[in-house]
Amino acid sequence: METEYDNGERRFSFSSNIYGHRTIKEALKSLQHHKCCFCEAKITHISHGDIEHFRPKAGFQTSLNGRLTRPGYYWLAYDFSNLFLACQICNQSYKKNYFPLADERQRARSHHEDYRREENLILHPEFDAPEAHLTFEQEVIKPLNGSVKGEETIKRTGLDRKSLQDNRLEYLQILNALAKIARGHGPEAQEAQAHFRTLGLPQSQYSLMVNSNFPDLV
Ligand SMILES: [Zn+2]
């Protein structure tokens, strides 16, 4: 019986009423400051957002159009540390069931194995520091110092998609104008500097872009 689940012949069923319960979603919204765990856009004022399983619950893929290997990380389906709030586009159009590892031999295939030995290639929104792997040149996101994890994360979660880049650029143009004021003198400069300090905090949208572009002002 257990073997049939282990080799993917029988499928686990999961209840979205549990992992997607209102209390879970509210907790994630608050912890993530209402931002998508991947693209850092604020989402909850226009969308309910998706509950994303960082380690996919039903099955995983290691490459684009690669086959779905079952089972997935069924034992983490209701584990809060595996749940994040994501926008529909990052989750449904990009991340989906991708979960590549640096070394496939380390992959935990059942609850008997320790998934913490795995080296995930998509950055974990809580345990990996994005600023160690990703940077911005203006609105364009890039892997920092050739980071493989940074590169994989950009590719697998679509962080360089045009619509997102256009939206970041629109915001950045205002920030560039504000930076000129902030680098000047007088009360307007102080006011602009105070804005930058807030915009560089995790609570603010696209804060990694702000920190990468304006290190002298955040
Ligand atoms: Zn997103």
Looking at every residue in the chain, the average pLDDT score rounds to: 96
Q: How far is the CA of 36 from the centre of ligand 1 (A)?
A: 5
Q: How far is the CA of 172 from the centre of ligand 1 (A)?
A: 18
Distance CA 202, CA 188 (A): 24
Q: How far is the CA of 176 from the centre of ligand 1 (A)?
A: 24
The pLDDT of residue 8 is 76
Q: How far is the CA of 162 from the centre of ligand 1 (A)?
A: 13
Which residues surround the ion ligand 1 when the cut-off is CB under 5 Å? 36, 38-39, 87, 90
- Residue pLDDT, tens place only, 187-198: 999 999 999 999
The pLDDT of residue 2 is 65
Q: How far is the CA of 4 from the centre of ligand 1 (A)?
A: 35
- Residue pLDDT, tens place only, 104-119: 999 999 999 999 999 9
The structure's pTM equals 0.94
pLDDT-derived band at 204 (thresholds 50, 70, 90) equals very high
* Residue bearing tokens 């850092």: 40
- Residue pLDDT, tens place only, 35-63: 999 999 999 999 999 999 999 999 999 98
Q: How far is the CA of 25 from the centre of ligand 1 (A)?
A: 16
Distance CA 83, CA 213 (A): 30
Q: How far is the CA of 69 from the centre of ligand 1 (A)?
A: 25
The pLDDT of residue 98 is 97
Average pLDDT over residues 134-143: 98
Q: How far is the CA of 130 from the centre of ligand 1 (A)?
A: 14
Distances (CA, A) of 36 to 27, 33, 43, 184, 195: 14, 9, 6, 34, 22
Q: How far is the CA of 53 from the centre of ligand 1 (A)?
A: 14
Q: How far is the CA of 116 from the centre of ligand 1 (A)?
A: 25
Q: How far is the CA of 6 from the centre of ligand 1 (A)?
A: 32
